[in-house]
Amino acid sequence: MKNLLSKKPVVIAGPCAVESRKQILGIAKNLHKMGVKVMRTQLWKPRSSPDSFQGVGTDGLPWLKEIKKKFRMKLCCEVVDPIQIEQTKGIIDVLWVGSRNMQNFELLKALNEDSRPVILKRGFISTIDEWIASAKYIGKDKVIMCERGIRTGADSTRFTLDINTALVIKHDHKIPIIIDPSHSAGRSDLVPHLACAAMASGVDGLVIEVHNQPSKALSDAKQQLTLKAFANLFIKLKTLS
């Protein structure tokens, strides 16, 4: 984890989901040119509806291996089943627990047995104490917490970004914290503003969804930035760090 956060703040970028070899290698090439060192590469997608795109699964592992060889980027990937921990060894550098699985305790226990750092997203309505308890299952020494917005009475955006809690995690609990403005906003036009606000608050990093053709994305199309929009934001974020 120290290597991942050695140059803070870290910006993790990539599409909501890996969709094809052409798509993910094309995005990786562009992000690499911009100077992005850590990439979001989700193979499994737990979705509310069984009719929604569920991810390419293990079929995408050779594509990610190719990215590592060509661009030497660190790769992050969500796992939703303990068996996927073993399947991703040697390819994925940082494992990931999504908000829906924050209290999937058998998964958390299995992650405790792996040496890789783990991004732990906050559940939709989870308290700090519940979030911290989940981190303890994995091992607080290797967890990177991720605030991605919670459900509140506000309904003008997908979720409400809770920077207050993010700062409590960082300053009171001394655990690394990154912010996901993409899921919080649910709309791409607000992502740069939330990202800048989060960066200015002093968090350890960001995770931002970027797609080569957001309008054609198979999941979360409305919140993903174009490569050009992300490039402009990435330059601005460097001035705030």
Collect all residues with Cβ–Cβ distance below 8 Å to 68 and sequence separation of at least 6: 75, 91
Collect all residues with Cβ–Cβ distance below 8 Å to 127 and sequence separation of at least 6: none
Predicted pLDDT at 34: 97
Query: What SS3 state is found at 32?
Result: helix
Confidence band of 201 (pLDDT split at 50, 70, 90): very high
Question: Cβ distance 131 to 163 under 8 Å?
Answer: no
What is the residue type of 169?
A: I
Q: Is 54 exposed, middle or buried (0-12, 13-18, 19+ CB in 10 A)?
A: middle
Confidence band of 3 (pLDDT split at 50, 70, 90): low
Query: What SS3 state is found at 3?
Result: coil
Average the pLDDT over 33-48 and give the result: 93
> Under CATH, which number does the domain 10-22+65-240 receive?
3.20.20.70
Count the helices and strands in the chain (H runs, E runs): 9, 8
Predicted pLDDT at 240: 83
Instruction: Write down the H helix ranges in 35-144.
Output: 61-71, 83-87, 105-112, 128-138
Predicted pLDDT at 47: 77
Cα–Cα nearest to 100, from 84, 124, 130? 124
Q: Does residue 2 register a pLDDT over 60?
A: no
d(CA 7, CA 178): 13
d(CA 223, CA 194): 12
Predicted pLDDT at 52: 83
pLDDT tens string 103-130? 999 999 999 999 999 999 999 999 999 9
d(CA 27, CA 75): 13
Question: Cβ distance 65 to 38 under 8 Å?
Answer: no
Predicted pLDDT at 75: 98
Confidence band of 238 (pLDDT split at 50, 70, 90): confident
Confidence band of 49 (pLDDT split at 50, 70, 90): confident
Predicted pLDDT at 1: 56
- The 10 Å Cβ neighbour count of residue 48 is 7
